[in-house]
Amino acid sequence: MRIALPVISALIVLAGLPQAAPAQGDFPSRPIRIVVPFLPGPAPDAVARIAGEALSQRVHQPVIVENRAGAGGTIGADYVAKSAPDGYTLFLATEAPLGISPATYGKLGYDPVKDFAPISLLATSGFYLVGCPKLPINDVAGLIALAKTRSVSYATSGVGSYHHLTGEMMKMRGGFDMVHVPYQGASAAMVDVMNCAVDVGFVAVGSVLPQIKSGTAKFKVLAVTTQRREPETPDIPTIQEAGIPGVDMEGYYGLLAPKGTPRPVLDKLSAELAEVMKTKKVIDRIEALGMHVVASTPQVFGERIRTDLDKFGTLAKEVNLHVQ
């Protein structure tokens, strides 16, 4: 059978074209991965699992949480930035890899604006300043006074982390000194605070609120880093109320995809997450962990990323913080 020349030409042209992205109605057709750039357990991991479970029920596909921890979240960020832009690999980001690391690291393998497509903010969380249970003080004023009589140490989840910047900001604006002790993750830092190997540290509200509310916490809570008190612990003052001005540090948790992910796929994910974050079950679970649900449009999330880049860039210069 002979095929007409125009038909052959058309077939050659079609064969050379890239395969069309799946239509919005076809997505997802297989499991979705949410990459969390931190260890299992703490607040980012919890948010990913709560949102992922609810998202799975809506899209009728498994949503798998994969932890790729290290280097302040930059390992996971770099991995997702280089993943296929098809909507099947998502990034549960915090301000650490998207705002702080670009301000403190000399060079990264990704650009927080150019290499990611924001989908939605999911939640925000403050941090508690907590102390060793044997520490002879109960508030920030006592900590400042103690630091003027002996060396005081503070534990963080790593050099260049949110905790690190908060501690350096406190020192600079409070006029006192503390010795920084970095750990590989917030959990390890908290263990040594509770064991009194270090004096104080920072921990996400959501990570320790259950222990505080049940009265089983093995540490002292000195203050909260946000501009307002936490509704679940109204008796705990803010660092600003304790006398150190300008300390307002509230972290976020949000989902992004690699840049180049088809717009219909991003719109589908954004729409589904907007519904997920309205459900009572998700709200109750997130608020029970001391976090606040903040579902947003991709545009709002993108603006938060750009604002944080400016904020942390300025702060890193003020405290002269550079990670090698």
Span 222-239, pLDDT tens digits: 999 999 999 889 999 999
Q: What is the mean pLDDT of the chain?
A: 90
Q: How far is CA 33 from CA 76, 84, 89, 117, 318, in A?
A: 12, 12, 5, 16, 38
Q: Do the Cβ atoms of 224 and 83 come closer than 8 Å?
A: no
pTM: 0.79
pLDDT per residue over 91-123, tens digit each? 999 999 999 999 998 789 999 999 999 999 999
Instruction: Reply yes or no on whether the pLDDT at 36 is more than 80.
Output: yes
Strand partners, 144: none
Q: Nearest-CA neighbor of 209 among 123, 130, 288, 282? A: 288
Give 207-221 as a DSSP string.
HHHHHHHHT--SSEE
Backbone angles phi, psi at 315, to 5 degrees: -65, -40
Would you state the pLDDT for residue 324?
Answer: 67
C-alpha span between 282 and 284 (Å, rounded):
5
The answer on pLDDT for 35 being more than 80 is yes
30-125+251-318 CATH pick, 1.10.10.10, 3.30.450.20, 3.40.190.150, 1.10.260.40: 3.40.190.150
Predicted confidence (pLDDT) at residue 167 exceeds the cutoff of 70: yes
Domain spans in the chain, listed from the N-terminal domain onward: 30-125+251-318, 127-224
More confident residue, 19 or 48: 48
Residue 72: per-residue pLDDT: 80
Residue range 279-289: average pLDDT?
93
* 267 and 258 Cβ atoms separated by less than 8 Å: no
Angstrom distances, CA of residue 36 to CA of 47, 67, 217, 303: 10, 5, 26, 21
Confidence category of residue 10, pLDDT binned at 50, 70, 90: very low
Pick the CATH number of 127-224 from 3.40.710.10, 3.40.190.10, 3.40.50.300, 3.20.20.70: 3.40.190.10
